[in-house]
Amino acid sequence: MIKVVHDAGFHTSLPDNLAFRIDNLTSISDAERLRQVLDELPGVTTKDIALDTREVAINYYEGWIRFARKIVKTLEDNGFKAHILTDTIIFETEGMVEVEAHDVRAYLLGVFGVCNSDVGVDTSTIKVVFYRGWTTKEKLIKTIEERGNTKVKQDLWY
């Protein structure tokens, strides 16, 4: 798909970074072993390992979600309890009706990196969960406003 977009004269790319939380990352020796496991994966370089937050950031060169899941499986196979980090944002909207809400939810789920979306017509809110760094707040707002015939009044990071 990216090749088709490039052939049409446009630039596009997929994310090349990923953040994990490693639940059982407790010591420097764990961090060293984790770095060794990650460095053995083709195309992966370890960017940062933070013991205090148990978060790991990596760069990789096969930017698609199946590869991210392969990384998690490899970590789990080596005894690490890994989770891909997600962010949640809640948007307050105005003027959305039930029919538009279904469209907005479906279109948000089509945005690359979005894991889940929930639209509350009665509360005028839209909750979006996405893989950290894989989409932008601006892209989500654009999708909501274009597909929902509504205006985003405010966003609240969760």
Alpha-carbon distance 144 to 27, whole Å?
43
SS (H, E, C) 74-99: HHHHCCCCEEECEEEEEEEEECCCHH
Length of the chain: 158
| Global pTM value | 0.72
User: Quick one: fold of 2-84?
Assistant: Alpha-Beta Plaits (3.30.70)
Residue ranges of domains in the chain: 2-84, 86-157
Q: Could you tell me the pLDDT band of residue 5, with boundaries at 50, 70 and 90? A: very low
pLDDT in tens, 56-104: 988 876 655 567 778 889 999 999 999 888 999 999 998 788 888 999 9
CATH C-level class of 86-157: alpha beta
Q: Which helix (H) or strand (E) holds 47?
A: strand 44-50
Are the folds of 2-84 and 86-157 the same? yes
The Cα-based distances of 2 to 9, 57, 82, 108, 132 in angstroms read 11, 24, 29, 20, 21
Q: Could you tell me the pLDDT band of residue 37, with boundaries at 50, 70 and 90? A: very high
Contact 42, 36 (CB under 8 A): no
